[in-house]
Amino acid sequence: MTEVILHIYDVTNSDSDKTNNTIVQINKIFKDGIGLGGIFHSAVQVYGDEEWSFGYCEQGSGVFSCPSGKNPMYTQRECIVLGKTNFSKSKVNQLLRELSREWPGYSYDLLSKNCNHFCDEFCERLGVPKLPGWINRFANAGDAAVEIAGNTALRLRQAKTEIVSASKVAYRFLVGVTSNSAIALESPANSNRGIPRFQSTWFKSLVSNGAKPSSSSELEDQDGAMIRQLQPQKREDDEEAPLRQNSRHDI
């Protein structure tokens, strides 16, 4: 058995000293002050004096090693003993070869697949506890926010697709209603029944123009026109009655 040691660094690899100092201050406030987290790099040491971590590169594996606690890109902060592994040195080397194939450098992502995620998986396979939550909390929170935003955008696209599909179905229905109404009204059977004819102007104009109501106000206007045209014609003996009698427009 051998110890598995986690080395933690402040991420100070910016070309700007001001940026590096700001990150150090953020880590002091959010980690040392309130215990929430910060912006950290991590690496795992097991057998020997090398630590192993993961980073971006265009080609090849993103898994790399350097002397423990001496990564030149960052500022060492602390180290934590995570536990002891039962793996032999040869077994650890075999595991590292597997991880090197599984973690290519181009797959690096600051929020969802960074050095801390690599160390988490490495430690899990070694059979020791994963990293403390505060080390990668900022990245996890950012990744969750991106996922929520992505899901919201997907749902909006799905809703839009469903609305368009429903509109097409309704449009085809109206085309059928218009055609059937015209055939029924012009048939000889209906011409001798003495029943009032219902006008289908609204349906015909809707189909011929190819326009679909795009807002609630347009729907209300067109529904009102349809209702007025569908009202039965008044009897001839009522044509002399005052035009304003029983009119809704007087209310």
Whether the CA torsion 63, 66, 71, 76 is positive or negative: it is positive
pLDDT one-digit tens code per residue, 68-122: 999 999 999 999 999 999 999 999 999 999 999 999 999 999 888 999 999 999 9
Which residues, in sequence order, are CB contacts of 200 under 8 Å at separation 6+?
177, 178, 181, 182, 185, 229
* pTM of the predicted model as reported, rounded to 2 decimal places: 0.56
CA distance 236 to 174: 32
- The residue written with tokens 């100092």 in the block is 21
Contacts 24+ apart (CB under 8 A), 189-198: 196/232, 196/233, 197/233, 198/229, 198/230
Give the mean pLDDT of the chain: 75
Q: What is the pLDDT of residue 160?
A: 61
Active site residues: 41, 115
CA distance 223 to 164: 21
Are 8 and 42 in contact, with CB atoms under 8 Å apart? yes
pLDDT one-digit tens code per residue, 168-182: 666 666 666 566 655
Q: What is the pLDDT of residue 227?
A: 53
